[in-house]
Amino acid sequence: MAIILASQSPRRKELLSMVVSEFETRPADIDETVKEGIAPLDYVLEMAQEKAACIAKNHPDDLVIGSDTTVVVDGMILGKPVDEADAKAMLTRLSGTTHHVHTAVCMMKGSKTKSEIITTEVTFFELTENEIEEYVASGDPMDKAGAYGIQGPGTLFVKAIQGDFYGVVGFPIAYVKRMLSEF
């Protein structure tokens, strides 16, 4: 049995390598458009499940891991920014607020499926326009939900965190390790 990470995320790949020594990565090509009216927890779980299912259909004897992360502020899902203006708008919205980061993990092997959603509360300092401009100009927020990465320069915006740090990074490895033991 092989372990396959249904992701192209370098962060997820690096974090999974802390739990298992050998695995493959195969990006799942799915539509990640947020459907009108979908609840944030339903959305993130659906994305993780779709990623796993996309790869698992061609690898029924292997263990496939799908994961997705979303940032939610005031009930609104913040995905990856589409451009610099979108990144600036997201960071402005997060400035001085507390938001939730939901990461879903779905594991599939044959007919067995196990899913978990890990939620972490993150509070940002008030950000200056200059801080936002400089961070967006760095390019770092462009491939990250909510337009920031807690594991890089975006950590300077974080006033407090309550929950799983690696859940905010996008792959809660302690939960993943425990889930793997069920397979």
12-18 contact pairs (CB < 8 A, 24+): 12/67, 12/170, 12/171, 15/166, 15/169, 15/170, 15/171, 15/173, 15/176, 16/65, 16/171, 16/173, 16/176, 18/173
Amino acid in the structure at residue 82: V
pLDDT in the model for residue 31: 87
What positions carry a catalytic annotation?
68
Q: Over the stretch 121-154, which tens digit does the pLDDT of each residue have?
A: 999 999 999 999 999 999 999 989 999 999 999 9
- The domain that holds 170 is classified in CATH as 3.90.950.10
Separation between Cα atoms, residue 98 and residue 103, nearest integer Å:
17
Burial class, 95, CB count within 10 angstroms (exposed 0-12 / middle 13-18 / buried 19+): middle
pTM of the model as a whole: 0.92
Number of domains observed in the structure of the chain:
1
Q: Over the stretch 35-47, which tens digit does the pLDDT of each residue have?
A: 888 999 999 999 9
Which domain, by its residues, includes 11?
3-181
Whether the predicted pLDDT of 49 surpasses 90: yes
